[in-house]
Amino acid sequence: MTYATDRLFEEVAYVAYHFHWPMDTILDLEHPLRLRFVEEIGRINKRLSEEE
């Protein structure tokens, strides 16, 4: 099974936006590691929004 292209673009854009990493660096990450970064960014954003 291949990973949905739209979902991959969402993950890459999300990590690139927050960490300013180049696309090639993000695409080189193994899928579980990339998802972990997506989850951590989400937690950080949630915590920051709750502090406002």
Q: What is the pLDDT of residues 10-51, one digit of tens each?
A: 999 999 999 999 999 999 999 999 999 999 999 999 999 999
Long-range contacts of the stretch 31-39 (C-beta < 8 A, 24+): 31/3, 35/11, 38/11, 38/14
Contact 41, 14 (CB under 8 A): yes
pLDDT at 6 over 70: yes
**The predicted structure's pLDDT at residue 30:** 95
**The predicted structure's pLDDT at residue 36:** 98
pLDDT at 1 over 60: no
Counting the structural domains of the chain, the total is 1
Domain hosting residue 25, numbered range: 5-51
Q: What is the pTM of this model?
A: 0.83
Distance CA 3, CA 38 (A): 15
**The predicted structure's pLDDT at residue 3:** 72
